[in-house]
Structure 1
Amino acid sequence: MRKFGLFSLLFICAVWLSAQTKPLSQLTVEEIMQAPEKFIGTSPSRVSWSKDSKNIYFYWDPDADGRSSAFKISKNGGEAEAIEDTSDGWPSSYEFNSDKTKIVYAKGGDIYIKELKSDKETRLTATNSRESNPRFHKDHIITFIADDNLFSIDTETGLMKQLTNFLIERNPDEDNGSSRNIGRSEGNREQDNWLRDDQLNTSEYLAEQRRRPRRNFSGFFGGDFGQSEDRRSTIELRNVRNIQLSPDGRFVSFMVYHSPENGAKNTIVPNYVTSSGYTTDINTRPKVGGEQGYSEIGIYNIAADTFYMVDKMKLPGITDLPDYVKDYPDKEWKEEPRNVSGNDIIWSGDGKYAVAHFGAHDNKDRWIMRLIPETGDLITIDRQRDEAWIAGPGIGSESFSGTFGFLPDNKTIYFQSEKTGYSHLYIHDLSNGVTKQLTNGNFEVYNPFLSSDGSKWYFHANMKHPGIRHFYSLPVRGGTPTQITSVDGGNDVTLSPDEKTLAIEYSYIDQPTELYVQDNKPGAKPKKLTESLRDGFKQYDWHQPEVITFKAEDGADVHARLYKPQNPNGAGVIFVHGAGYLQNVHFWWSTYFREFMFNNMLMAKGYTVLDIDYRASSGYGRDWRTGIYRHMGGKDLSDQIDGARYLMREHGVEAGRIGMYGGSYGGFITLFAMFKHPDVIAAGAALRSVTDWAHYNHGYTSNILNTPVEDPIAFKRSSPIYFAEGLQGDLLIAHGMVDTNVHFQDVVRLAQRLIELGKDNWEMALYPIENHGFTEPSSWTDEYKRIFKLFENTIGKK
């Protein structure tokens, strides 16, 4: 009886489990492409802590109504409670004094101070001007910005002083200098001429230019602060920002943004489906190569009442030419100062040291320089030169300073560099000029920050595997890193204010992100706080693809995800992730969750699926990142072809029966694969794809390919439109018609090229209301039904 009872129980459990779980073969496109909040669920996001470290705040949509709202949950667990906001009654932005007994903040355009123990709030200003950016200069001296000038107020005496007298001149079309000339129609002449000439190779259409005069206005904030001898001289500048008083009170540092004289012409994207019934125009980004604005750093000497702009000619190598000029021996290259932005300046807590961060607009140099404020002299701390382009986790560029600051000793700065080939953490002692590398190895460091007492670092890193992220601590001046999180996958940690507890957004390959909590101790066990999954997703036993490596033609190890079916049909599919510099071969839940489910569906139908972190993908260091420099469609494409050959060699996929699909950069690679390797890739779906890099944006494209005028070789060999004659297999092109990222014009020009070439083995699916990232389930469903139909009707047939 006992044996029978146990058997019966096991049988009943097996039947119950089988009733709860559907086989992957039952997956349909309609099911997996429905609104994710209905089928998968909405994961917690925007995690933060209460100021007392007792509760965790986050945004969530447990009812699947399509709108996330604020919740809080005790760090000890329990039920999550919906709340109105996550501020704890604190302002959204504030600054502590030195002993963290007070905070200062702006509210309603005025400055307030609050004593934390008594919760007493005191209003310091009440003016018609809008005050902002309050900071503690000393515990009783607060600085703030009003009408683009720096002021101070003594909370003990009530004395308010105007420290600068900038007369700001602005062009209202420039949106305070932060936009790139939206609405202006004058283009960069050399770039536009290049584009016009280039159209002859692909189309008869020529763009026209229009002009609109610039309009300027000036404003001045006046006030009688102190005696006449204390009044500041008027300094006329444009677009002043980031004004700060040095801690010793002797200098004011500031930045000035200069908009381009000939800002690049914007592209118009027509919107066809409108409530009015009339087509409207969406004014979008310019194309790569237009003249760019830049920022300068200035120093105002309060005692001398004088100022200067930091001289970029003092930067070492300011006139260096890039290596690619050797490919243009007939062109005259002048060694002249490059366009450089000063994008940040920081002061030591005692005011003894100032350090500035600069980035070259040709993307080849990043300088960290000690600045002598009395003279403007610059002393090199770190120059990172890259003949490809400066980037990587925490590394600054021409507009971003990345990881950059002072240690509490007021003489040591920290920063990240790719000097060793991976982005690591460094410190530099300004008192003796010694630089020390704190982390080292074939891994990347992400988002390092100091503990509140300044004794240690916290950071994320992929030390264990390129696709596994853990949270680590490290002594402030180096040593052995300590891994704090213990469960492999993706661990995105938010540390509590008292630094005793971790809030972890954790996920795994087949497990969407949930909120966990863990003591800030190595190896402590995390506790799950949320359950977000919907029944639709939970009813399937999702396949975890195997993370593998295969050899590329140049001997490199390429990481990939392999979906291997139990009953292979002899066909293979390669999925190509987008963005170029992105990682998808990892052990956490992917942002490509639709593709994860679609790949599961393909696998269940017998297709062997490969998902590759090709050259340029993130997480693998500098050499992998820059492997596509001056040749997109080079190693990034050959990695896909090598992956296809791996499928044929190792997994029984038949020659002539391999397809490919991907969006954005993945669509670009798919086009290139179809045009250049028709003997390997028989069918492809290119979604929202770039067809000609000369028509993409400046910030992304100029990093990799320079500009069309300066380096036309790189653009011609990197753009699929020039290779369209190679199309032999079956091609699906799908694109949103209001795509403001990769413009619909890209595929329209390619369509005209294919028509002129007499190609008839392609089709185009258009989505009239979709931007670059689709939002409507009906659009996703239609697109992926077409992809599946393409594969079934081509490579799926034996």
Structure 2
Amino acid sequence: MTRLLRNAALSALSIAIISGCSATANNSDSSTVTNQSASASVPLAMPPQADKPLTLNQIMANPDWMGLLAKNAYWADDSQSVYFNRQQHQSPIADVYQQGVNDEQAQLLGLNQLHLADQKHGVLNADKSKKAYLYQGNIFVKSLANGEVKQLTRQNNAINSVQFLTDGALAYMQGNSVFKLHLNSGMTEQLADIQMAKAPKGVVDPDTYIAKQQHRLIEYVALQHSKNKTRAEYAEELAAIDPTFAAKTWYLGDNEKVNQMSLSADGRYLVVSLSDKNYSWRADHDIMPNYLGKDGYVDAVPARARVAEDSYPGERLVILDLVEHAKKDVTIEGLTGFDEDVLASVKSENAKAKGETYKSKPAPRTVQLMQDWGWDQTAIQWHDTDNKLLVMMEAVDNKDRWIASVDLSNGKLTTEHRLHDDAWINYTFNQFGWVTGTNSFYYLSEETGYSQLYVKSEGKTIRLTQGDYVVDQVTLSPDATHLYYRANKEHPGTYNVYRVELASGNTEQLTQHTGTLDYELSPNGQSLLLTASTAIKPNELFIQPIGGEAKQLTNYTSNAFSHYAWQAPKVVKVPSSHGVKDIYARVYVPQGYDANNASKYPAVIFNHGAGYLQNAHNGFSGYFREFMFHNLLTQQGYVVMDMDYRGSKGYGRDWRTAVYRNMGHPEVEDLKDGVNWMAKNANVDAAKVGTYGGSYGGFLTFMALFNEPELFQAGAALRPVTDWAHYNAPYTSNILNTPDVDPIAYERSSPIEHAQGLEKPLLIMSGVLDDNVFFQDSVRLVQRLIELEKPMFETAIYPVEPHGFRQPSSWLDEYRRIYKLFEQELK
């Protein structure tokens, strides 16, 4: 649920606020990194003691005080340096730095140097001697031997993409047109001009009685018609023969729009994705009011459509042969199960609830190209030399994902791999691509229950990884001998880099990190660039030669932050009482913690956002403010738990889909197990536990307080979902289908349907300018609680805030209220 993820950089104040803080205990977190044997039997250790207590003003200050960390790091073309951004909070521009792998300091690049900087998203020619890239919408080509850069275009109309063709020329796309740039002559040739309009009729012979009579009786009219027809025929004949003419225009009709185009390696074939031009993800009839508009009036901000009203029409593909000027519509009959009624059981259940009977029948399903949710790859994959095409398609009903080869001569699909899920296909773990120089391709699939890596060659599929762990971030080595990947093999919350040799299948672990990391393989295939963190150490950059030791490249975490005695949470396994796997959770214990103290501790459970997100890992949390807030709570005598309840990321398909058609119920069962675990293992008073969270975490707070009123004594819901029918379609329809098909799931899973169960104090906090979870969500629930005559809730609104708060004053106000609630109700 990436659109429900918390924004990791959200407020502002001064670094001086906690610059005086210092640690009195060893600040190393190496002893607190949990290994795979962590369990409920592991004792909770005394946390480090800080000589200066935290305050909310400190925690909610401008996050720049933690250090301006390096972000978006990537390799230089020569593999001898790296580039990265550093950006001050809310600065509109990120500075670009370059640092050599053996240098102690990075160099800030001037604005006049940025076009010469090695670009992350570039393309190489066949012999890897040149790299083409786009900068500010224009084409540049770099000679990798001597570093010489040439700018090939200089125009205001941005170019969309660039690629080398097999003949050494460059092709690029601009709008709906495709051009070829001949590097030897400098000539620009238009390969394709796509017009989303009906083809002009040209010179048409008379076809009505009056028109025919006019041509028969009036000689001048007949003569002019004959001349025009002759000119048109001549122009068409000339265009077909004269080599100086550009390719003919393609008219693809006026009912659709172009979503995506992709050109084959030799420039002959163009695949075009089309969809209904009248579809919009915006809601035509609705707005989000901004009450503090710059002119003093209420601004009407456009709003997205809700899943209850959104009806995406899907996409269709066409293949254009640019040599023969022939068009082939791609049909979906080659997709295995293209007409299955995969929602038959759901429809039957809902029909039965209304006293009706549903009769299932096959019908073509609506499909689209697999959507990119951060895997930095297109769903259209051309072979590097041959005219062979793979596409990844998904059903709009979310139940199937296909990898299919395309017959370019007739537009037919052949299923190479089908991934079906009765719940929903994951929107991550969808990387795939050709193995360079071969007819093999690799892909990720959750078919075993965990994302694993496969290669298919000559019709035979081989699984390259196997186990109860998650594989992602796949990279083909420059020499196409290995596939590199990231996985959490040793522990669900610890990620490392591995590689598998394609010829032998042998796997090798390359890193030995004890937290979380991302990686990028160097262009020469010799080293890894790591962005790595541990529980109390934010991301820094490291360089690790393949087979060597990691060396820290950056050190941008501030002394004020790194020298403070932060408590690193211990990752524990909470036994489930509901017959599922153990639940992973982070636990923080109070200052001076005593497991045998006769006075039991109050506790708080934090519910992470997004639903499908992992927070109980051994790296630095994206919820950095909550991490500090939890340290503050421990200094005030609380035990704190962050739980990766069912539906969370990193634990496989079954954990992810446990919430299908039943959101908010399995998770609350897990929260109940968390409370019981703290009572047995952390000396917690089960009658003094509160909960809070934002976005999905706010939704879960509602579901816990509404459906298990004795579980928590108070709860705070931030930017919360109250009715899933009002959330967006791409996320919600995965888990609950759509309201017209599956109203049972929505009524079962929406807090507003359960509000009558509220018995304990509840704090509701929302940003008025939230274009993700609308402010209206909270407004509707508040009115529902008023009508139910529930007196135990309070609200706070933030007039200038979107989903991820930005103003430090808003953050401070929000968490003051949360802290006050817990102090009043749990102590």
Same fold (TM over 0.5): yes
In structure 1, C-alpha distance between the alignment counterparts of 2:459 and 2:765, rounded to whole Å: 56
Report whether the alignment pairs 1:307 with 2:327.
Answer: yes
Gaps of 5+ in 2: 1-21, 28-47, 199-235, 371-378
Contact preservation (8 Å) 1:442, 1:463? yes
Cα distance in 1 for residues equivalent to 2:90 and 2:196: 49
SS at match of 2:704: helix
Structure 2 Cα separation of the partners of residues 140 and 506 of structure 1: 39
Pairing 1:281–2:316 present:
no
Q: Is the 8 A contact 1:271 1:279 kept in 2?
A: yes
> Residue 231 of structure 2 corresponds to which residue in structure 1?
none
Q: Which residue of 1 aligns with 2:291?
A: 272
1:241 is displaced (CA, Å) by 5.1
Q: 1:754 to 1:121 in 2, by over 3 A?
A: closer
Alignment partner of 1:502 is 2:516: no
Distance in 1, Cα, partners of 2:106 & 2:533: 19
Partner amino acid for 1:325? Answer: K
How many angstroms does 1:611 deviate by? 1.0
Among 627, 644, 653, which residue is 1:613 paired with?
644
**Contact between 1:111 and 1:132, CA under 8 Å: does it hold in 2?**
no
Q: Please, which of 227, 237, 243 is the counterpart of residue 241 of structure 2?
A: 227
**Where does residue 421 of structure 1 map in the other structure?**
449
Q: 1:91 to 1:443 in 2, by over 3 A?
A: closer
- Contact 2:23-2:564 within 8 A present in 1 as well: no
Mapped partners of 1:264, 1:249: distance in 2:
36
Per the TM alignment, residue 156 of structure 1 is displaced from its structure 2 partner at its CA by: 4.6
* Residue identity in the other structure for 2:813: D
Could you say if the C-alpha distance between residues 657 and 234 of structure 1 is closer, same or farther in structure 2, counting changes exceeding 3 Å? closer
Partner Cα distance (2:481, 2:315) in 1: 35
C-alpha displacement at 1:68, in angstroms?
4.8
Does residue 558 of the first structure (1) align with residue 580 of the second (2)?
A: no
| Preserved CA contact (<8 Å) 1:161 1:225 | no
Are residues 89 and 37 of structure 1, via their aligned partners in 2, closer, same or farther at CA, if it must alter by over 3 Å? closer
Does 2:817 align with 1:793? no
Deviation at 1:233, TM superposition (A): 6.3
Change (3 A) 1:743 1:336: same
Matches within 5 A, 1:171-182: none
Counterpart of 2:489? 463
Question: Does the C-alpha gap of structure 1 residues 223 and 291 become closer, same or farther in structure 2, counting only changes over 3 Å?
Answer: farther
Matches within 5 A, 1:70-81: 70-81=96-107
1:27 Cα deviation after fit: 1.6
Cα deviation code 1:203-244 (max 9, x no counterpart):
xxxxxxxxxxxxxxxxxxx99977359853643344335444
Structure 1, 482-491 or 530-539: larger mean CA deviation: 530-539
Relative to structure 1, the CA distance from residue 352 to residue 683 in structure 2 (aligned partners, 3 Å threshold; closer, same or farther) is: same
Summarize the alignment of residues 719-738 of structure 1 with structure 2, pairs less than 5 Å apart: 719-738=750-769
Match of residue 239, structure 1, among 257, 273, 282 = 257
- Give the 3 Å change call, closer, same or farther, for CA 450–164 of structure 1 in structure 2: same
Asked if 1:533 is matched to 2:560, the reply is no
Task: Say if 2:352 is the partner of 1:324.
Answer: no
Matches within 5 A, 1:383-782: 383-391=418-426, 393-395=428-430, 403-429=431-457, 432-477=458-503, 479-521=505-547, 524-556=548-580, 557-565=582-590, 566-567=593-594, 569-782=600-813
**TM-score for the superposition, normalised by structure 2:** 0.81
Go from structure 1 to structure 2 and tell me whether the alpha carbon gap of 1:348 and 1:263 turns closer, same or farther (over 3 Å shift). Answer: closer
CA gap of 1:25–1:561, structure 2 versus 1, over 3 A, is farther
Matches within 5 A, 1:371-382: 371-382=406-417
In structure 1, distance between residues paired with 2:305 and 2:389? 36
- Report the CA distance shift for 1:768/1:117 in structure 2 as closer, same or farther (over 3 A): same
- For 1:176, the equivalent position in structure 2 comes to none
Any conservation in 1 of the 2:328–2:410 contact (CA below 8 Å)?
no
TM-aligned CA deviation for residue 744 of structure 1: 0.8
Sort the Cα spacing of 1:245 and 1:288 in 2 relative to 1 into closer, same or farther, 3 A: closer
The equivalent of 1:167 in structure 2 is: 195
2:86 aligns to what?
60
CA distance in 1, matches of 2:626, 2:154: 55
Cα offset, 1:351, TM superposition: 2.1
Q: Which whole-Å CA distance do the structure 2 matches of 1:508 and 1:779 have between them?
A: 29
Q: What does residue 269 of structure 2 align with?
A: 251
Q: CA deviation at 1:639?
A: 0.8
Structure 1 residue 161: Cα displacement: 4.7
Indicate conservation of the 8 Å contact 1:242/1:255, yes or no. Answer: yes
Task: Number of aligned residue pairs: give it.
Answer: 719
Query: How far does residue 93 in structure 1 lie from its aligned partner after superposition?
Result: 4.8
CA distance in 1, matches of 2:151, 2:99: 33
- Contact kept, 8 Å, 1:42 with 1:64, in 2: the verdict is no
RMSD after superposition: 3.0
Determine the C-alpha separation between the residues in 2 that align with 1:86 and 1:159.
27
SS of residue in 1 equivalent to 2:684: coil
Aligned counterpart for 2:173 among listed residues 130, 140, 145? 145
Is the Cα contact below 8 Å between 1:350 and 1:410 reproduced in 2?
Answer: no
Indicate the residue corresponding to 1:26 in structure 2: 53
Please report how far the alpha carbon of residue 61 of structure 1 lies from its aligned counterpart in structure 2 after TM superposition.
Answer: 5.5
Cα distance change of structure 1 residues 59 and 135 upon mapping to structure 2, 3 Å threshold: closer
* CA distance in 2 between partners of 1:508 and 1:126 (Å): 45
Aligned-residue sequence identity (percent) comes to: 36
Quickly say closer, same or farther: Cα 1:477–1:737, change in 2 above 3 A: farther
Cα deviation code 1:81-114 (max 9, x no counterpart):
3222565445675422111122345567765655
CA distance in structure 1 between the aligned counterparts of 2:157 and 2:540, rounded to whole angstroms: 45
3-state SS of 1:657 partner: strand
Larger CA deviation: 717-726 vs 20-29: 20-29
Distance 1:77 1:117 in 2: 23
Instruction: Measure the CA separation in 2 of the matches of 1:640 and 1:629.
Output: 18
1:273-311 per-position Cα deviation (integer Å, ceiling 9, x unaligned): 233222212112111131114221111234543212111
Q: Sort the Cα spacing of 1:456 and 1:379 in 2 relative to 1 into closer, same or farther, 3 A.
A: same
The aligned residue for residue 297 of structure 1 is 317
Q: Which amino acid aligns with 2:241?
A: Q
Aligned: 1:350 with 2:370 = no
CA contact (8 A) 1:393 1:444 kept: no
- Matched residue SS, 1:312: coil
Report the alpha carbon displacement of residue 456 of structure 1 after superposing the two structures with TM: 0.7
Deviation for aligned residue 1:553? 2.3
Q: Structure 2: how far apart are the matches of 1:626 and 1:671?
A: 21
Deviation per CA, 1:640-699: give whole Å up to 9, x if none.
Answer: 112112222333322321110111111111111111111111111111110111111111
One-letter identity of the residue aligned with 1:562:
V
Distance 1:134 1:722 in 2: 51
Q: Aligned partners of 1:298 and 1:528: how far apart in 2?
A: 49
Counterpart of 1:198 in structure 2 is none
Q: Distance in 2 between matches of 1:34 and 1:676?
A: 36
Instruction: List runs of 5+ in structure 1 lacking aligned partners.
Output: 1-14, 171-221, 396-402
**2:41 — aligned with what?**
none
Alpha carbons 1:25, 1:601 under 8 Å: kept: no
Cα pair 2:273 2:317 within 8 Å, conserved: yes
Partner of 2:44: none
Q: How far is 1:729 from its partner?
A: 0.8
**1:646 is paired with a residue of what secondary structure?**
helix
Cα shift at 1:722: 1.1
